[in-house]
Amino acid sequence: MIDDIQRIRDEARNKLSSVDDLTELDRLRVQYLGKKGVVTTALKQLKDLTPEQRKEIGAVVNEARDELESRFEMKRLDIKRSDLEKELSRTEPLDVTLPGQYAVPAGSQHPVHRVIDEMVGILRKVGFSIATGPEIETEYYNFEALNTPDSHPARDVQDTFYVQSPVLLRSHTSPVQVRTMKAIDPPVQIVSFGRVYRADYDHTHTPMFHQMEGLLVDEDVSLADLKGVMHYLIRELFGKRAIRFRPSFFPFTEPSAEVDMQWNDGWLEIGGCGMVHPNVLEAAGYNPDRYMGFAFGMGIERIAMLKYGIDDLRSLFENDYRMLEQF
């Protein structure tokens, strides 16, 4: 039996020396070292021997198996190395600058940001400059300085997201008015835009949405100026169409109005506006006997939906590729 083992081992060594591809190597490996391989079968036969024989022959079989295993492994590494060398020495070089098989999809601007860019562009042409403020605000800037008393329903926890009173997520862009007026002297002519937050969710409300807001404060500002700017803005955005001002209420403007635009034989509300309330000017440190101003605000998503014919507000935030691809 010992002779058999030596013979098997020599035979395997011989065959191994002439192998030069991995498939053939695998086949040989199965033949000798696999579950039903020659060596494994020899190991199984040991159980029929006497303990002394088993000890002696077992050692030889084990040694043969170990030797063959390491030869197979060395051969495998050899073949891999020479395959790689062949690959590298091919005369035809690989052009790594060739375009890939699949085109990388290009992104596009989100409709909300398109509208922001467009509106800011329109307002800058007539002298507004951009002002910014934080999304995490305080009750003071979001309400108090905007003449919104403690008892006002907008302060209700149900509408406003509180981080922890008095810190909240701004529910409109109007706190930027206050911050700007506190920082600079009149005249002020700014546009601000950004995210605002309210606890609301259905097909026309999302807990986060975008607003755009304009503010102009100077010595001689009238409702006629406000109307002029609103006419101009809407004409630039939607083309020539009728607009109307409907009396309304905001704590921070007096008088206040809602702006409607003509749309398919009817009227559509498009934003709020009014003359800045004297209390707001005063809170900002402006003399209300000398200065006056107007402010207006509108929802960006509303305008994006009208401009691009989107009918569910939520689709603006679902980031469905098929929807965004259209822009």
Binding site for ligand PHE (CB under 6 A): 172, 174, 213, 250, 253, 272-274, 295-297
With H, G, I as helix, E, B as strand and everything else as coil, classify residue 291: coil
CB of 274 to ligand PHE, least distance (A): 5
CB-based contact 149:283 (threshold 8 Å): no
Q: Which is nearer to ligand PHE, 26 or 159 (CB)?
A: 159
Q: Which is nearer to ligand PHE, 37 or 274 (CB)?
A: 274
CB of 324 to ligand PHE, least distance (A): 27
Residues present in the chain in total? 327
Q: Which residue is nearest to ligand PHE (CB)?
A: 297
CB of 269 to ligand PHE, least distance (A): 11
- Residues 209 and 70: their CA atoms lie apart, in Å, by 67
Q: Which is nearer to ligand PHE, 295 or 305 (CB)?
A: 295
Classify burial at 282, counting beta carbons within 10 Å of its beta carbon; exposed 0-12, middle 13-18, buried 19 or more: middle
With H, G, I as helix, E, B as strand and everything else as coil, classify residue 103: coil
CB of 316 to ligand PHE, least distance (A): 18
Could you give the count of Cα atoms lying within 13 Å of 81 in the half-sphere of its Cβ? 6
Q: Which is nearer to ligand PHE, 75 or 172 (CB)?
A: 172
According to DSSP, the residues that pair with 296 across neighbouring strands are 214, 273
Q: What is the CA radius of gyration of the chain?
A: 40
Q: Which is nearer to ligand PHE, 111 or 272 (CB)?
A: 272
126 Cβ partners below 8 Å, 6+ apart? 229, 232
Q: Which is nearer to ligand PHE, 111 or 297 (CB)?
A: 297
In the block, residue with structure tokens 């063959």? 68
Q: CA 268, 149, 295, 297 torsion: positive or negative?
A: negative
Q: Which is nearer to ligand PHE, 208 or 324 (CB)?
A: 208
CB of 222 to ligand PHE, least distance (A): 16
Of 228, 217, 235, whose CA–CA distance to 295 is shortest?
A: 217
Q: Which is nearer to ligand PHE, 186 or 272 (CB)?
A: 272
Hey, what are 249's tokens? 């209420």
If residue 65 lies in a helix (H) or strand (E), which one and from where to where?
helix 51-88
With H, G, I as helix, E, B as strand and everything else as coil, classify residue 216: strand
CB of 103 to ligand PHE, least distance (A): 43
CB of 256 to ligand PHE, least distance (A): 6
Q: Which is nearer to ligand PHE, 69 or 260 (CB)?
A: 260
Q: How far is CA 273 from CA 91, 107, 152, 245, in A?
A: 74, 35, 19, 9
CB of 109 to ligand PHE, least distance (A): 25
- Residues 24 and 30: their CA atoms lie apart, in Å, by 10
CB of 273 to ligand PHE, least distance (A): 5
